[in-house]
A and B are shown apart, each in its own frame.
Chain A
C-alpha cells in the first residue's frame, strides 16, 4: 500500500528565504506526482505535475524535482513572500489506469514579513 509522507508538518521562514518542502513515498511505481497549494478554507490549487519519466518541472519561482528510485520529491520556492503562506500537499498517482491519488499530510508554511 502506497504511503506518502511530508516532513516537516509545519515550517516558518522569514521573507526572502528559499523554501524547501519534502515529499516521500514508499512505492516507486508511480505514474506521476502532483504538488498542490491550499489556502485556509479553500480548495486545492495545482502547482506542478511531474510525470514518472521526468526529473523536474519549473514554473516561475517554483521548481519540483522527482527521484523515483529513492521515493522522493522536493518542491523549491525561491525568494519566499508572505503570499506563499499556505499548506502545501503532494500526491502520487499509482498508474495510468488508476485515477486515485494518495496524498501526503501536507506542510503548513508561514512566511513572516
Chain B
C-alpha cells in the first residue's frame, strides 16, 4: 500500500470541464510534487511545493493550476484541457532537502 494517496484513480472529462486531482500524505513531508507521465515514458516534473509554497513550475500551461492548502494536501485544478493532456498524473512527496521521493498510484486522466 502506498503512503501517498491520490483521488480519483480514473477521470474522464471533456475539454470544457473543470475538475481537480487530489493528493494526500501523512508522513510529515514538506516537499510535494506533481508529475505527468505518458505511456512508455518516464515521469515529467510539473510542479514542486516546498513548505506549502510553489518552488518549481516547469513552464506548465495555465490550464493546470496547482494548490497546496496545507502540508498534507496537494491539489491540481484542471480547466479547458486538450486531448494531448491525457496521461497518468502522479503525486509524490519527500522530506525537505533529503530522502527518497514517495509516489502515489496516480490518476489516469482521459480528455475527450
- Listed in ascending order, the chain A residues whose CB lies under 8 Å from chain B are 34, 36, 41-46, 49, 89, 91, 96-97, 99-101, 103-106
Contacts and interface: CB of A to CB of B under 8 A. Distances in A.
Contacts of A34: 100-101
Interface in B1-48: 2, 4, 6, 31, 33, 41-43, 45, 48
* B interface bracket (residues with beta carbon within 8 Å of A): 20 to 34
- If over half of B's interface residues share one DSSP class (helix, strand or loop), that class is named, otherwise mixed; here it is strand
Interface of B: 2, 4, 6, 31, 33, 41-43, 45, 48, 50, 55-56, 88, 90, 92, 94, 97-106, 108
A103 B97 CA distance: 18
Nearest to B2: A43
Given A105-B41, A105-B42, A46 B103 contact: yes
A8 to B, nearest CB: 14
A89 B106 contact: no
B100 A99 contact: no
B98 A43 contact: no
Contacts of B55: 99
B43 A44 contact: yes
Contacts of B4: 43
A33 B45 CA distance: 16
B90 to A, nearest CB: 6
Given A43-B90, A46-B100, A106-B42, A100 B106 contact: no
A89 B42 contact: yes
Contact of B108 (A41, A45, A103): A41
B98 A99 contact: no
B97 A96 contact: yes
Contacts of A97: 97
B48 A100 contact: yes
Contacts of A89: 42
| Listed residue (A42, A43, A49, A89) with the most chain B CB atoms within 10 angstroms of its CB | A43
